């Protein structure tokens, strides 16, 4: 009897060790995926938006990405229902049409996300990829501030310090870029890019916190939520396309300027986030913070080779502060600070930016995935 228990215990330990080894490997895979998806999307958008010749319509790319996201979610829901079309349609009708009040709650986030997607194209078209990558980390600051104001979250002392370092780092990079005037190339306007990325960060922070606030306690699956968001996002994206490029699209066509590289960008936007959503559960907050920091380094190095980006001591100092701040912000809170208020004790990650907390939603929302990092 004792021998049997000993054998069972040994098997359990062996199974546990094997599972830990698998999880460790998955963490490293998650890190690689997060870095590659985050850096490649920004670099590829920068590349296709700076090629000589006539550009594709960014508004049509936003719409196309939304359509692909919705289609992907519908296929996943169908798979979950074992290809039972009747059950799938019943679920969609019940969740989207019959519970229309719940669906309408997503109109505001969808509007903000659509605006954010278009602003990111404008920002990346006018800023060097590395500068955008560094500046876009201001979304951590805006999300944290909106969390404190709207959700009454509390931040630890380390997080507040990291936010100050983040702001200082971004400010240094902007001073360096303003003095360098590197973005003053043909068809590029540095100030337009800066304004676009700042508004994008503000909208990202507000939308993420608002999304959390209105959907707290919701039982709907992430795929249903993304279908609801995608419906509004597609409609609003078409409205933006008509408003900004309607005449040109009518003359040249919806897919004007689409090349293989443009399609790669769109697929990266639509499906890259899904991949992140699948692997991010294996990555803790520290690993995700490290991935964000490493992706900044990757973007900077690749920008040197691809776009002849100039890195000097001032940019290095600013980017270093941002990288350190991102990592500091992702560190777990100490036990003493985690009990400071009942509203924040439910989850350490509740005050983290949307890219760390709601990656499953970020995957299909706007984001240059931003997303997701």
Instruction: Match 């396309």 to its residue by tokens.
Output: 241
Residue 82 φ/ψ region, left for φ over 0, alpha for ψ in the -120 to 50 degree band, beta for the rest: left
Distance of alpha carbon 166 from alpha carbon 329, whole angstroms: 9
Q: Mean pLDDT score of the chain, rounded to an integer?
A: 79
Q: Within 284-312, where are the H helices? A: 285-307
Angle at 13 between CA 11 and CA 14, to 5 degrees: 65
pLDDT in the model for residue 10: 60
User: 153 near 289, Cβ under 8 Å?
Assistant: no
Distance of alpha carbon 336 from alpha carbon 313, whole angstroms: 38
- H/E segment holding residue 268: helix 260-279
pLDDT digits (tens, 9 = 90+) for 33-52: 878 888 888 899 999 988 88
In 54-209 the beta strands, taken as DSSP E runs, fall at none
User: 262 near 61, Cβ under 8 Å?
Assistant: yes
| 31 CB-near residues (< 8 Å, 6+ apart) | 283, 287, 290, 291, 294
**What is the separation of C-alpha 190 from the centre of its chain, rounded to a whole number of angstroms?**
23
Tokens encoding 302: 């690749």
pTM for the complete prediction? 0.77
User: 124 near 42, Cβ under 8 Å?
Assistant: yes
User: 213 near 149, Cβ under 8 Å?
Assistant: no
Distance of alpha carbon 201 from alpha carbon 170, whole angstroms: 12
Tokens encoding 30: 């998650």
Torsion of CA 122, 123, 128, 131, to 10 degrees: -170
Q: Count the neighbouring beta carbons within 10 Å of the beta carbon of residue 333.
A: 19
Closest to 144 (Cα-Cα) out of 132, 156, 131, 130: 156
Q: Where are the domains of the chain?
A: 24-330
- With a cut of 50, which residues of the chain have pLDDT below it? 182-184, 337-373
| 248 CB-near residues (< 8 Å, 6+ apart) | 57, 256
User: 121 near 61, Cβ under 8 Å?
Assistant: yes
pLDDT in the model for residue 345: 36
User: 82 near 332, Cβ under 8 Å?
Assistant: no
Angle at 265 between CA 264 and CA 268, to 5 degrees: 85
pLDDT in the model for residue 119: 92
pLDDT digits (tens, 9 = 90+) for 113-155: 899 889 999 999 888 888 898 999 888 889 889 988 888 888 8
User: 334 near 73, Cβ under 8 Å?
Assistant: no
């Amino acid at each position: 009897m004792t021998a049997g228990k000993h054998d069972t215990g040994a098997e359990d330990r062996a199974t546990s060790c094997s599972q830990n080894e698998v999880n460790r490997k998955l963490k490293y895979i998650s890190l690689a995926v997060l870095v590659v998806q985050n850096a490649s999307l920004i670099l590829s958008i920068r590349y296709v938006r700076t090629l000589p010749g006539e550009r594709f319509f960014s508004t049509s790319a936003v719409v196309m990405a939304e359509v692909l996201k919705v289609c992907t979610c519908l296929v996943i829901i169908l798979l979950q229902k074992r290809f039972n079309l009747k059950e799938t349609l019943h679920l969609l009708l019940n969740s989207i049409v019959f519970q229309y009040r719940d669906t309408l709650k997503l109109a505001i986030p969808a509007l903000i996300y659509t605006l954010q997607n278009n602003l990111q194209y404008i920002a990346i078209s006018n800023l060097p990829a590395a500068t955008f990558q560094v500046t876009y980390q201001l979304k951590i600051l805006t999300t944290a501030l909106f969390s404190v104001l709207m959700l009454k979250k509390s931040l630890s002392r380390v997080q507040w310090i990291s936010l100050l370092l983040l702001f200082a780092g971004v400010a240094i990079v902007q001073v360096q870029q303003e003095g360098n005037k590197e973005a003053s190339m043909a068809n590029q306007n540095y100030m337009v890019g800066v304004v676009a990325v700042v508004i994008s960060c503000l909208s990202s922070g507000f939308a993420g916190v608002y999304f959390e606030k209105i959907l707290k306690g919701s039982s709907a699956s992430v795929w249903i939520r993304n279908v609801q968001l995608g419906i509004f996002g597609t409609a609003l994206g078409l409205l933006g396309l008509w408003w900004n490029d309607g005449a040109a699209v009518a003359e040249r066509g919806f897919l004007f300027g689409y090349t293989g590289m443009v399609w790669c960008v769109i697929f990266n936007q639509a499906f890259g986030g899904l991949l992140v959503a699948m692997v991010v559960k294996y990555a803790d907050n520290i690993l995700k913070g490290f991935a964000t920091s490493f992706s900044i380094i990757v973007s900077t190095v690749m920008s040197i080779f691809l776009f002849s980006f100039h890195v000097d001591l001032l940019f290095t100092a600013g980017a270093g502060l941002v990288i350190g701040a991102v990592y500091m912000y992702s560190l777990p809170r100490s036990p003493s600070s985690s009990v400071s208020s009942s509203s924040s004790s439910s989850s350490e990650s509740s005050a983290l930016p949307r890219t760390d907390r709601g990656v499953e939603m970020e995957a299909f929302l706007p984001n240059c995935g931003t997303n997701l990092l």
